[in-house]
Structure 1
């Protein structure tokens, strides 16, 4: 511990060494003393610093929470159900969620107010004419596609939530969300069917993420396909979330919509189904421990409300009688694509109506289907092409209890013996309003997360997960 090295201190020449040692001896003594003093002082400093560290409180590391989000869609839930004390008594779990979240029973859907366009607007934030999913089914009047729906994500023309999540290296999961066949989702169970027979299960296994469908079936102990009940879908969603911990999980349920189409909103069957769904929803959020977690949020949404028709209007019968649909040749000049409560006129062999044809079409349809209204002037067409369909030539809609069909059989207009339950009416119709809410523990301002449109799902997801969304 000397200030000099041993090699420099002892020279090899003995005589010179004696003189050197004699001359430098006082200096050596001073150096040794200084060295000892330095050592003692340094040791004292180290000991003092150690005691200070022992007494000091350890600094807390800033807690980082990795936020996760589940988007749950309950298809076909009318907002007016929340105006009914009887209905609210059947759905205590959904009622509790509505009270704890940024809930609204007046969420506006898109036009057409049907499932696939609405759900695609949820994950893109834009109208159907922009994202490209224009109806549940394709324009296929001669059934060349065998009733195929718009299942394939490659038909979506803009980026989706799963695309933006991927850019942020976030994991995504999906249980039967519409228009997700081929989607770039990490854990993907898409919705698709062909004949609703067991062969469809093989198709799902092939189109799902590799090995995921079979693994999910083993986990929940039930077949997974389009006729799977909501209870199994809830359990599959919980299993996927717990197993893979996706940052964003999309979960889609269908039982309420199916019951409404079959028996009507407010029916005894619909009320029983509501009780079941509410019970399943309650089990789901309790299993997740949703209300006690800071790392998990839930966005509940539906796609449209429900109404019914007491009369049936079939505008394609009118086009057939005019000779604008050529059944034998399987071609058409113009065709109506129905959504239920409305039908849009689209081009075929021809893409323009003459002024005379336009006037005649309006007068004839409104006369033959009393209670309907034709929209086909330049301003109407511009608005329709901007929001609903880029090729629109006009729209037949109604505020009355009329169902507008795409069929070409029977009369243009008739009264039906049993109501036809459905949707597809203009999204300004109060019966088409639906529900939605966002729950986040410790939410400071609920209004910041409140949704007015199904398109707001996109904005809320992007905000919560800090995605760089551009749509």
Structure 2
């Protein structure tokens, strides 16, 4: 299969929404891409529309039920801070970067989710120290390319302020510019989370989110300049995409509080979970309910009664309830007993103490980052909830398309680099490509 480009740079601006188009269409660096390439007005995300499943979908062309990354975090009911799906082996099957590497091309990834311990030439994975005894730099070094990361940390580490934004993305930007100039990879995947953070903590359309879009515009400009300065611009393709959108919310749903009241969750006197029959695992705007014993028919009946009563109550915050089979049909985890969709304005947390419903204020968000004022994870069928894609450079046609699906992106990127992801849920969007 012939290659359409020599260098593919994929920039994921986490939480970039189709609704951001009126802002970005007038910003010069975004305009450069829009005026010279392809623009997709609406990209339908996946269910649940959270970051790690979305990014695994982008590189596999498959829904979560097939690639295996069905949530950001693992089901660990007794842990205050569950581990995330950081590692490449969380993904079933092949990926874009695997196939590119097999074709003897070079790969690079900067904070791209689910790439820890992946076979990527220049890899700085997104992973954080999640145990008191762990050191952030060591955890990163051990999970990616040690020398590559060490050099970048030595040169640009002073820019970072822990995991805080916008400093983290500023560090990623300098690392990306340096990598383009010095490594000139055939595939480069860059993940920026500034916008996502600002939306979570200040709301979808707050001044902080708008400022983050403008910072992303400047970051895009620096990357475009780096391609010129490196001498590879003529043979390069640049893709700018979002993984999901977000919706404003201000009420948290604590379904585990109700499960505990029904003795489906048991805690010790210190409030730590010691046993559970059913557990509500949050995906923010949606949630899975898992059974410890999938054959426990009594618990299934109790859950069904509880969920039916919540569905009848317009103030419960729950819009829809799916069975595990129905969740699987939507591409989510079929191993759940039920999957719940929150109404607009609501989202799920995993607390099992306190009240079922909790109204959230800006002050509480500032004090405790588990609270947010906008989030995602909702069904991609929700109104005004699409994301976006634009691309320019070698192999890209000048075209506007009304809609594609997130699952179509991976096969299309693979075609640009002359490789294949095999049999995927998504398909190559040939209209985007100069074939």
**Contact 1:217 1:223 (8 Å CA) reproduced:** no
1:403 aligns with 2:343: no
Between 281-290 and 319-328, report the one with greater CA deviation: 281-290
Instruction: Give the 3 Å change call, closer, same or farther, for CA 348–117 of structure 1 in structure 2.
Output: same
Matches of residues 99-138 of structure 1 in structure 2 within 5 Å?
A: 99-138=35-74
1:435 aligns with 2:393: no
Which digits, 9 at most, give the CA deviation of each residue in 1:45-96, with x for residues without a partner?
Answer: xxxxxxxxxxxxxxxxxxx9961101110111121121x4xx3477332243
1:289 is paired with a residue whose SS is helix
Q: CA deviation at 1:186?
A: 1.0
Instruction: Give the 3 Å change call, closer, same or farther, for CA 295–361 of structure 1 in structure 2.
Output: same
Partner residue in 1 for 2:244: 304
Task: Tell me the distance in 1 between the aligned counterparts of 2:74 and 2:215.
Answer: 33
Task: Tell me the distance in 1 between the aligned counterparts of 2:92 and 2:82.
Answer: 22
Which digits, 9 at most, give the CA deviation of each residue in 1:353-387, with x for residues without a partner?
Answer: 457435412223225653423424xxx43231241
Structure 1 stretches lacking a partner, 5+ long: 1-63
Return the structure number with greater strand share: 2
Instruction: Give the 3 Å change call, closer, same or farther, for CA 187–89 of structure 1 in structure 2.
Output: closer
Partner residue in 2 for 1:460: 412
**Equivalent pairs, count:** 400
Task: Tell me the distance in 1 between the aligned counterparts of 2:291 and 2:117.
Answer: 29
Task: Tell me the distance in 2 between the aligned counterparts of 1:351 and 1:388.
Answer: 20
**Contact 1:312 1:405 (8 Å CA) reproduced:** yes
Task: Tell me the distance in 2 between the aligned counterparts of 1:416 and 1:220.
Answer: 37
Matches of residues 243-392 of structure 1 in structure 2 within 5 Å?
A: 243-289=182-228, 293-328=233-268, 330-353=274-297, 356-357=301-302, 359-367=304-312, 369-376=315-322, 380-386=323-329, 387-392=331-336
Task: Tell me the distance in 1 between the aligned counterparts of 2:407 and 2:4.
Answer: 27
**Which structure exhibits the higher relative contact order, with contacts defined as CA atoms closer than 8 Å and separated by 6 or more residues?**
2
Question: Which of these residues, 63, 88, 93, is aligned with residue 29 of structure 2?
Answer: 93
Task: Tell me the distance in 1 between the aligned counterparts of 2:321 and 2:297.
Answer: 13
Partner residue in 2 for 1:58: none
Task: Tell me the distance in 2 between the aligned counterparts of 1:425 and 1:65.
Answer: 35
Instruction: Give the 3 Å change call, closer, same or farther, for CA 65–165 of structure 1 in structure 2.
Output: closer
Question: Which of these residues, 9, 13, 17, is aligned with residue 78 of structure 1?
Answer: 17
Structure showing greater radius of gyration is: 1
**Contact 1:106 1:435 (8 Å CA) reproduced:** yes
**Contact 1:190 1:204 (8 Å CA) reproduced:** yes
Instruction: Give the 3 Å change call, closer, same or farther, for CA 292–204 of structure 1 in structure 2.
Output: closer
Structure 2 stretches lacking a partner, 5+ long: 363-371, 425-435
Q: Cα RMSD over matched residues?
A: 2.8
**Contact 1:73 1:300 (8 Å CA) reproduced:** yes
1:175 aligns with 2:103: no
Instruction: Give the 3 Å change call, closer, same or farther, for CA 280–374 of structure 1 in structure 2.
Output: closer
Q: CA deviation at 1:114?
A: 0.6
Question: Which of these residues, 114, 119, 122, is aligned with residue 184 of structure 1?
Answer: 119
2:404 is paired with a residue whose SS is coil
Q: CA deviation at 1:182?
A: 0.5
Task: Tell me the distance in 2 between the aligned counterparts of 1:452 and 1:99.
Answer: 20
**Contact 2:75 2:82 (8 Å CA) reproduced:** no
Instruction: Give the 3 Å change call, closer, same or farther, for CA 222–77 of structure 1 in structure 2.
Output: same
Q: CA deviation at 1:415?
A: 3.7
Q: CA deviation at 1:333?
A: 0.9
Task: Tell me the distance in 2 between the aligned counterparts of 1:323 and 1:274.
Answer: 46
Matches of residues 23-38 of structure 1 in structure 2 within 5 Å?
A: none
TM-score by length of 2: 0.84
Partner residue in 1 for 2:169: 230
**Contact 1:339 1:404 (8 Å CA) reproduced:** yes
**Contact 2:25 2:34 (8 Å CA) reproduced:** no
Q: CA deviation at 1:324?
A: 0.7
Task: Tell me the distance in 2 between the aligned counterparts of 1:342 and 1:442.
Answer: 38
TM-score by length of 1: 0.78
